[in-house]
Amino acid sequence: MTAAPPPDVTRRALLSGSAAALGTAALAQTSSAFAASNASELSLGARAAAKGLLFGASFATHELDKPYGAQYAETYKREARILTSEAELKLYTMRPDALSLDFAPADRLVAFARENGHVLHGHTLIWNDALPDWIKRLGPGEAELLLETHIRTVLERYGAEIPTWDVVNEPIGPWDNLPGGLRGGAFYTALGEDYIARSFRLARKTAPNVRLYLNEAQTESDDENGEVFRKSFLALLHRLKDQSVPVDGVGFECHLDSKRPYDFPRFAAYVEEVAAMGFEIAISELDINDRALPSNPSERDAHVADFYKRFLAAVLPIKAVRRLTLWQIADHTSWMFYDDVAKNPGARRRPRPLPFDERFRKKPAWHAIAAALDDMPAR
Ligand code: XIL
């Protein structure tokens, strides 16, 4: 799909001379002006900022070391205003074993953001998933101590540089059959549901200026799974509010999956319900899993673009949505690529979930997101 020239380019070309002066030479000039303007086309970050929305993507510092590292950096410098740490602040990165504390990847992320003027979002302080084995083996008292030490250590170091944080990630996990549909794991085992309130209270106390988020997955789909997640999550938010737990914001991950059914206006009504409780809202990890879409890449790209279009048309009018973050920026840096092609390099079908392709060229998804940002009401 090719993009139509932005209307202002054509209009400017027309206004710069009389209609009669627009002969062949002038037309040639117009199209080369367009080619140039395409390279400097208004970025997604700038379009969102014009509406009072922070736009960005998760960022992985290890991608800077790849042969395409410079293009990766360039794409983020141009398109993103906010970066979410993809793995740099996770427990398995920072605390690979009981004796180490590795700040190097997070320091590198902070330096990149500072150099390029990006805002940062910290992901994530406490999560019952994605833990190194040594944490899974801790006894309850040790897990409680780790939760407290970790929150203090990380916020004391980065609280001034990183203004918003996922304090707890993905609290819901119905498959664990726990009360409230909560997800089990080391921190839940140690403290029960109270691990959530404890984490938020300690985060507020340690870094009072930081905005504290609760981030959740799988609330989006219009099926039984989505229904269970929405119900359990909403009930948890009400319990936290009743206990005056300092939760400022709620992140909806929005890893959309072409295999699942969706009713985006219905999901948007749910987000409105959460916003009405007084929370600021982030769409925190948006991408489109294209596994059920046609194999033909251009057909698939059109479907993925349409997914973005329909989803964003439903959620961007919600005034409480303050941030829109994609989960990575290019198809080959997506977690879907790492889960799939990187493990099976002979794979003929490569995932195409994001707005840039494997050569950092804009895809139809980029244009769909740009149009959705242009059409949304300002905050
Ligand atoms: C994913 C990363 O993208 C992968 O690189 C990593 O291997 C596993 O985690 N929900 C979250 C994110 O909150 O932290 C996950 O990120 C994707 C699902």
- Reported as a single tens digit per residue, the pLDDT across 62-77 is 999 999 999 999 999 9
Phi (first) and psi of residue 324, to 5 degrees: -125, 115
pTM equals 0.90
Q: Whose CA is nearest to atom 1 of ligand 1?
A: 335
CB 219 within 8 A of CB 270: yes
Q: Ligand 1: residues whose CB is within 6 Å?
A: 86-87, 130, 169, 217, 253, 285, 335, 338
Distance 92 CA to ligand 1 centre (A): 12
Integer Cα distance of 174 and 120 in angstroms: 31
Give the closest residue to 38 by CA, choosing from 331, 326, 297, 361.
361
Ligand 1 atom at minimum distance from 328 CA: 3
Distance 234 CA to ligand 1 centre (A): 23
Compute the average pLDDT of residues 98-126.
98
Reported as a single tens digit per residue, the pLDDT across 204-233 is: 999 999 999 999 999 999 999 999 999 999
Quick check: 326 pLDDT over 90? yes
Instruction: Report residue 368's pLDDT band, with 50, 70 and 90 as the boundaries.
Output: very high
Distance 176 CA to ligand 1 centre (A): 20
Phi (first) and psi of residue 337, to 5 degrees: -65, -45
Distance 90 CA to ligand 1 centre (A): 10
Probe ligand 1: pick from 85, 86, 128, 216, max atoms within 8 Å of CB?
86
Probe ligand 1: pick from 59, 63, 327, 339, max atoms within 8 Å of CB?
327
Higher pLDDT, 34 or 350: 350
275, amino acid identity: A
Per cent of the chain over pLDDT 90 is 87
